[in-house]
Structure 1
Amino acid sequence: MDLALLISRYGLLAVFLGCLLEGETMLVLAGYAAHRGYLDFAAVVGVAWIGAVLGDQFYFWLGRRHGQAVLKRWPKRAESIERALALIDRHPVKLILAMRFAWGLRTALPIAIGLSRVSSIRFFLLNLASAALWAPLVAGTGFAFGAALSRHVQELQRIEHWVLAGLVLLIALMHAYRGWRRRCNR
């Protein structure tokens, strides 16, 4: 099967699933795919926005409902969450709006906010706004990268399928390695 067909058929699903988690890499790749015409840019942004909001709402709920149990189960996350709680107390609005851009704390921050005194409605509204800023910015980065790359590399069309396949494989291997490391550190 052709990689372009796979991307056009399953790309938005991959963006949604990727953005439920941390999503930056997937969204940059989707922005690039939109530049190449495999995906619609507006659809990529919309799906990323929905996935990001739902993912962070889940992590917020997890913190609100099961926060103390999460801290006990994953002590490595507890350190990040404790640091985040101190920041939340000082700057709740700024932190919620910026949380999506804090790489390495993307799952810890919504959990920590769930543990804080921030109301569910306030978090939801700020989460909507944060994702509305994040999705077009990150997808736009991939789109702009594709535009710059295609201007400078005439051979890109000949090798782009291999480059995309390699990037997807690299991402999958990195996630598998991180999961393996987490299981080994328990």
Structure 2
Amino acid sequence: MNLEHLIADYGLWAVGLGAGIEGETVVVLGGIMVHRDILAFLPAILAASLGSFLADQLFFTLGRHFRNHSYVRRIRARPGFQRALGAFERHPTLFVFAFRFLYGLRSISPLAIGTTSLPASRFLLINAVAALVWATVFISLGYVFGQAIEAMFGHVRAVEHVLLPLVAVAIIFGLAIHLIRGRREARAGG
């Protein structure tokens, strides 16, 4: 079994899981796989939507049920949490829809929103629509990016030539972001 078959068999699961854990980078890679005709467009969007939706619902629920837990109280002291709450208080519906598009607020926002009095049913509905829009945007960007790669380098048939460097770049990019965020949080906390 080659890499292309593995992606065709398990790619949608990877896109969904990656959308919930990492976010945009994995979803853009999913769009590139759509461009390569390894994944189908609509199922890739649905997988990314579902992964993002479930992760945000989980963090919203944790914020709602554990708002007085010491871990959540420590997170509430972070500047990002306060920025998320401030933006939410000014425009609750717009913020619930848009937080996943805002750098630096995507991961903490559902937890912060969970600590508010926003009805869970309202969050669920807005979150579902926002996850679908978000997934469509980033799968489409990956699809267009895939077209740009082919325009620049010609039509590369072997997926390994495109996928392995992209995965390596995505992993390095994700680790760099994780390290930068960790250092910022350490400076802010200490």
TM-score interval, normalised by the smaller of the two chains = 0.7 to 0.9
Report the equivalent of 1:89.
89
The 2-side partners of 1:27 and 1:105 are apart by 18
Report the equivalent of 2:169.
170
The 2-side partners of 1:169 and 1:148 are apart by 19
The 2-side partners of 1:175 and 1:73 are apart by 24
Q: What is the CA-CA distance between 1:55 and the residue it aligns to?
A: 0.6
CA deviation string 1:136-170 (max 9, x = no partner)? 11100101111232233215335x52332122233
Aligned residues: 184
Contact 1:150–1:156 (Cα < 8 Å) also in 2 = yes
Q: What is the identity, as a one-letter code, of the residue corresponding to 1:100? A: R
Q: What is the identity, as a one-letter code, of the residue corresponding to 2:170? A: I
Q: TM-score, normalised by structure 1?
A: 0.86
Q: Percent identity?
A: 36
Map 1:30-45 → 2, pairs under 5 A: 30-45=30-45
Map 1:1-186 → 2, pairs under 5 A: 1-68=1-68, 69-74=70-75, 78-154=78-154, 156-157=156-157, 160-175=159-174, 178=178, 182=182
The 2-side partners of 1:139 and 1:94 are apart by 22
Q: 1:180 to 1:150 in 2, by over 3 A?
A: closer
Q: What is the identity, as a one-letter code, of the residue corresponding to 1:88? A: F
Q: TM-score, normalised by structure 2?
A: 0.85
Unaligned runs of 5+ in 2: none
Q: What is the CA-CA distance between 1:73 and the residue it aligns to?
A: 4.6
The 2-side partners of 1:83 and 1:180 are apart by 19
Q: What is the identity, as a one-letter code, of the residue corresponding to 2:90? A: R
Q: 1:102 to 1:74 in 2, by over 3 A?
A: same
Unaligned runs of 5+ in 1: none
Q: What is the CA-CA distance between 1:181 and the residue it aligns to?
A: 8.1
Q: What is the identity, as a one-letter code, of the residue corresponding to 1:130? A: A
CA deviation string 1:5-58 (max 9, x = no partner)? 221122111111111124211110111101111111111001111111111000
